[in-house]
Structure 1
Amino acid sequence: MTACLTTRAPEVDIADLVQDDKVHSSLYSDPAIFEAELDKVFNNTWVWVGHTSEVPESGSYKTAFIGRQPVIVSRDRKGDIHVMLNRCRHRAATVCEGKRGKVKSFVCPYHGWGYALDGELRAIPKPEEYQGVLDKKDFPLVRLRHETYQGMIFATFNPDIQPLEEHLGGAKKWIDLFMKQSGGYPLKVLGDHRFRFPGNWKIQLENTTDAYHFPVVHKSFVSSLDDQTSKIFDFLDGPGFVEDLGNGHSVMVMIPELVDLDANLDAPIPERFKDFAAELECEGYDDAQVRRLVRAVGGSGFNLNLFPNVACSMAFFRVLRPVAVDETEIHHVAIGGDGAPAAFNQLRMRLHEHFQGPMGFGTPDDAEAWERVQKGSRAGDREWILVNRSLGRLVTSPDGNTAGSVCSETGMRAAYRKYKQMMTA
């Protein structure tokens, strides 16, 4: 059973609030606009809900959200993945509260209705009371349409939406490149951490392809690096770029030499990874394996924004969840290689913690900036947010897409173009 469930919001006229070079501040603060976004955007497109490695075997599950609607991602006894509303068909209680785990079934804690891993209703206490008024086969957990690409699981409430691969379009090339950072092993989620900031979800959406803020906000991160690495992150005047990939997606290439992690494997091993390379050699890995793992361990040299809620960001997944007009939850998902050397995954975790972790150098500074944007956006009721940087210096990429310099706001304009299309449909 697949259903299209939406919560209708008040009609909001967005047409004049999103222009080619600016968006109105009310997009951050108007509750009516936020409610409309949940309906018109999150309930009507492909939304990232997980990675297949998070549900590796029969009985595995994880919980997620599409907008504000809770869902369960599960793998049944046949090995098939399902995405279902986390809501009992009896009285609406959630049937699963864990973040992830392994179960034999889902049981409602309120009245004990039991559901199989594929959502089928299997057990009802005192079934005789429902004789002639209820047939269990008519009341499974509501299943959503879902599709996967490169292990990334997307779900939608819109049964008529285009296939996922068409939706991803030009972003597929970059997803394929991003997946190379597992060093020749299947990509695996190593863990995640979550936090909330008092700001609108679009503030974070904008951040992923905004290189302009990097030397200002992330001074402490750059100061924590060795000289060789800090030079790599001095990219504002470099050959990088931001490219509009269509459908709201965009890519920001900061370090072009790290776009394809299978290339330049004969390059000298960076000083900061020499101890790691030596450890791999001691464990018996040959030179080709060592070089591939060293090349992959630091992640890709780009951020890929997939509208509306997930980014493949250098070396991790960043997932946003709109909670309220002025509150957003962020999941930073650490990734590594399934079966890769322990030293590889350990180093990836340490690098993740260095920037993205709650005690890292990057995330707290970003969150402070996002909070200030939300606070400042309440000043004045006729003010605009500018997204016009590099509008006069755009080029056509080799793939035929619009592109600008690495510090351009091309990615933001791409997202708002799709946003406006959906909000005015």
Structure 2
Amino acid sequence: MLVRSKPDFRNTAMPPRRMASRLASDFTRPRRLRIGAAGCARGAAGAPLRLTILSGIVSLSPATVRRGRVALPAAARALIWSSRMSMTANYSPEDLARMVEPARVHRRIYTDPEIFELEMSRIFGTAWVYVGHESQIKKPGDYFTARVARKPLVIVRAKDGSIQALHNQCAHRGAMVVANDTGCTDEFQCCYHGWTYHLDGRLKAVPLNNGYPEDFDTKNPKTAMVRVPRVQSYRGFIFLSLASEGQSFEDFLGYMKTSLDDMVDRAPDGELEIAGGVFKHTYDGNWKLYLENLCDAAHPWYTHRSSIAAAQQQKDDVFSDGTGEIAIRQMRQNGAPYSFWENQVGIWTYANGHSYLGDYHDDSKLVAALNDPTFREYHSAMETKKGKAETQRIMEVRRWNSNFYPNMSMMSQFQQLRVIHPISVNKTVVHTYCFKLKGAPDQMFRNTVSFANVVNGTGSLVLTDDLEIYNRIALGLSSEGAEWLEIGRGFTSDEPDPHGGRKGKNSTSEVYIRNMFDAWRGYMFGDSGSGAKKQVA
């Protein structure tokens, strides 16, 4: 249950019953509060009123309760009504801490709606979250809409060239202002009463302006579309934080910014462009499952067995357009023996929950090699623009999925990017985008789209396997089976990474899941500046 408003008790002494009612009215889902004020409620004298809050306890003296008045000190008011404070009737900090152990987690983390609400507030409401790419807003007036912590936002290129992120809400009656996914405009206008806003969110015009009170002022910041406090871009990738204070963007990225570098560096002209639309899919399962699966090197041989068997039965020359060939070779590679998965792939983790899986394709037709005509043309363009030494350095970086906790994963080999949108504790939407490498042959992008169809399209024989697993996990966790889920594979053998992270000695180590839960604990306990960066040795 999250506190949504901030009543002002600075000069108020309120009867305990009324205060309890006021507190309950500010919850999205009013439920039993941990109020030990039985004496106040039932007339027994001497019982203290205790409000148990996620990060502390306010205790009122028996004398105060007997007098029937409650005057909260400033520190207590700040504690209760801080806009970043979450309150729960069921979980203390100790309860949450006990749900994550070094090698296992409690199943409630994936199934409890109340924990999900806390995640929306404390993780998605404070962390740096990926929202889009600068190629989507090339010129002033270009915009796209997004959701962070389920809150609707508008990302726009302002007239001065800056990137603005606005809460997608009219200051008049609260209607969502922008309904389109993308577009270009000179202004934003609410379709309810016509309030019109500048691209930076300032109120521009109000119809029937003379009907408002004399002190109504369109220049008052309270009449604007509210700006998101922190927006940053790194090499075209746009991130934002809904929190006005917290961990710096540079610290959040850390060493993982090299995965963003890897994607951009592969463009001969040094620029990327989102193109080809977007794949959208939904699954009935918790949002954390998606990121956990993307670096899971132990699941393909079993989860994708049907497509592996079908691909192994096909001849190499069945398709001549290249699309079918990419599909068959991708599905075949999923069937590599476990000796390959364990010893030749690699898994690396870094602060704040980030990780990447090493490349697991050694097929020259899938990850292009010099004997491929398209790749030869691409390689030549790279050497012309960047030189032989730099081109060789870039090509030697072999990463598959790079996960940016909590909501994005990218793949530089085939220029894919996936964004996770949690809807509820058991419902998640994922958007997949493809990038063009500026200066690369057009066939490179066609291969990118072909690969996206194989792996992320709605008719994919690979994605549908994974979605089925997520659904089965959700169903399995609803039973009365094991309360604890094991994430301890590789726990005793993981090794330090020279860049400050940890890597699995074997590629099938679950070190990346443990790393994400290190970040989970840091955010959930309100310590995104330090706790989220700690890693269990």
Bin of the TM-score, shorter chain as denominator length: 0.7 to 0.9
Superposed CA RMSD: 3.2
Q: 1:294 to 1:372 in 2, by over 3 A?
A: farther
Q: Aligned residue for 2:9? A: none
Residues 242 and 411 in structure 1, CA contact (< 8 A), matched pair in contact too = yes
State whether structure 2 residue 391 is matched by structure 1 residue 313. Answer: no
Equivalenced residue count is 408
State whether structure 2 residue 359 is matched by structure 1 residue 254. Answer: yes
Q: Aligned residue for 2:285? A: 199
Provide the rounded CA distance (Å) in 2 between the counterparts of 1:338 and 1:83.
26
Provide the rounded CA distance (Å) in 1 between the counterparts of 2:209 and 2:218.
10
Higher relative contact order (CA 8 A, sep 6+): 1
State whether structure 2 residue 77 is matched by structure 1 residue 23. Answer: no
Residues 267 and 439 in structure 2, CA contact (< 8 A), matched pair in contact too = no
Residues 189 and 334 in structure 1, CA contact (< 8 A), matched pair in contact too = yes
Other structure's SS at 2:446 match: helix
Q: 1:37 to 1:193 in 2, by over 3 A?
A: same
1:221-264 Cα offsets, whole Å, 9 max, x none, are 55253499738966403332222211111122134989xxxxxx
- Which of 78, 84, 87 is 2:169 aligned to? 87
1:115-174 Cα offsets, whole Å, 9 max, x none, are 111111101111111252321122211111111112111111211112211111121122
Unaligned 5+ runs, structure 1: 259-264
Q: TM-score, normalised by structure 2?
A: 0.70
Residues 279 and 456 in structure 2, CA contact (< 8 A), matched pair in contact too = no
Using the TM superposition, give the Cα deviation of residue 38 of structure 1 relative to its aligned residue in structure 2, in angstroms: 0.8
1:40-76 Cα offsets, whole Å, 9 max, x none, are 1111111111111111111111111111111110001
State whether structure 2 residue 456 is matched by structure 1 residue 343. Answer: no
- Which of 143, 161, 167 is 2:252 aligned to? 167
Other structure's SS at 1:42 match: coil
1:307-338 Cα offsets, whole Å, 9 max, x none, are 11111135311111110111011111111224
Q: 1:256 to 1:177 in 2, by over 3 A?
A: farther
Using the TM superposition, give the Cα deviation of residue 181 of structure 1 relative to its aligned residue in structure 2, in angstroms: 3.6
Residues 166 and 226 in structure 2, CA contact (< 8 A), matched pair in contact too = yes
Provide the rounded CA distance (Å) in 2 between the counterparts of 1:393 and 1:86.
48
Using the TM superposition, give the Cα deviation of residue 96 of structure 1 relative to its aligned residue in structure 2, in angstroms: 0.6
Q: 1:228 to 1:368 in 2, by over 3 A?
A: closer
Q: Aligned residue for 1:107? A: 189
Using the TM superposition, give the Cα deviation of residue 368 of structure 1 relative to its aligned residue in structure 2, in angstroms: 1.0
- Which of 149, 152, 155 is 1:67 aligned to? 149
Task: Give runs of aligned pairs for residues 277-288 of structure 1, distance below 5 A.
Answer: 277=375, 280=377, 288=383
Provide the rounded CA distance (Å) in 1 between the counterparts of 2:301 and 2:394.
24
Q: 1:16 to 1:293 in 2, by over 3 A?
A: same
1:379-420 Cα offsets, whole Å, 9 max, x none, are 116511111011121112232422102211111111101101
Residues 360 and 400 in structure 2, CA contact (< 8 A), matched pair in contact too = yes
Q: 1:289 to 1:386 in 2, by over 3 A?
A: farther
- Which of 283, 287, 295 is 1:209 aligned to? 295
Q: 1:332 to 1:60 in 2, by over 3 A?
A: same
Q: Aligned residue for 1:245? A: 350
The higher radius of gyration belongs to 2
Residues 495 and 502 in structure 2, CA contact (< 8 A), matched pair in contact too = yes
Q: 1:349 to 1:306 in 2, by over 3 A?
A: same
Deviates more, 1:229-238 or 1:145-154: 229-238
Unaligned 5+ runs, structure 2: 1-81, 312-326, 527-537
Q: Aligned residue for 1:176? A: 261
Q: Aligned residue for 2:88? A: 10
